[in-house]
Amino acid sequence: MPRPSREEWKTYNSVFDQHTNRLLFKLSSQGHFDELVTIIGPGKEAVVFIARKTDGTTVAVKIYRLETANFSKMYDYLRVDPRLPKLGKTVVGDPRRRTIFQWTEREFRNLLLARTAGIRAPMPIAHSHNVLIMEFIGEDLEPAPLLKHSTPEDPEAFAQRCFELLGRWAASGMVHGDLSEYNILNDNEDPVFIDFSHGAPLKAPNSIDLLRRDVENLCNYFRKHGVKRDPDDVMKDMLAHTSS
């Protein structure tokens, strides 16, 4: 993958505000990475970079935008997560920033939980404020493609594996909340779930609706690729194996 041109970096300048630059400098001096090499994914809320370490290995660095993030939506999702302290008015600091920092921290925490539950997901390495460092999924500087852009050779087997991972996540009492072909990587024909910031315990008030949406997204995607799964049956199966 070629390095981004000066023009391309400029496009992502919005993530490199003074606060984030200082943070990146700190994380880099702690040895988490040496330099940002290239951009993998410019999302709405975050930009993901590949960074190289001095030993030549790579990590993924996800930077949530401080200026353009959708704070109120994030806040609404965080508010109902029973694990998190309330983002009350009494805490010092800019409430919008606090929301993004908690969003970032939640993704880190969910990734850890996912790994513990045996889900294939990037290993989280560190987080600070609006920056999350995790395992890079790919080879050399080539990220594993999104399922959306890389149809599996054996859709039935791939679907089976995705439902297995989703079931395992539900059995551990959690919902992903933003699962679709846009947040699953096809890593050499093996699914890797990413983008865990929406993840919440199943006992949170809106979680069953989120699970239903995840299941429907997967069923819709795989139906287009010749694999039939009934969302009602999948839901029943998932919920039968959870304790909530």
Ligand X SMILES: Nc1ncnc2c1ncn2[C@@H]1O[C@H](COP(=O)(O)OP(=O)(O)OP(=O)(O)O)[C@@H](O)[C@H]1O
Q: Does 184 bind ligand X (CB under 6 A)?
A: no
36-65 binders of ligand X (CB under 6 A): 40-41, 43-46, 48, 60, 62
The reply to whether 195 sits near Mg ion by the rule CB under 5 A is yes
**Closest distance of CB 224 from ligand X, Å:** 19
Query: Among ligand X, Mg ion, none, what does residue 143 contact (CB within 5–8 Å per kind)?
Result: ligand X
Per CB under 5 A, the segment of 81-89, 93-101, 195-203, 213-221 that binds Mg ion is 195-203
CB nearer ligand X, residue 78 or residue 235? 78
The sign of the CA dihedral 81, 73, 111, 22 is: negative
Amino acid identity for residue 196 in this structure:
F
Q: Which one is catalytic: 55, 76, 154, 178?
A: 178
Beta bridge partner(s), residue 49: 39, 61
Residues of this chain that bind Mg ion (CB under 5 A): 183, 195
Residues of this chain that bind ligand X (CB under 6 A): 40-41, 43-46, 48, 60, 62, 122, 134-138, 143-144, 146, 183, 194-195, 197
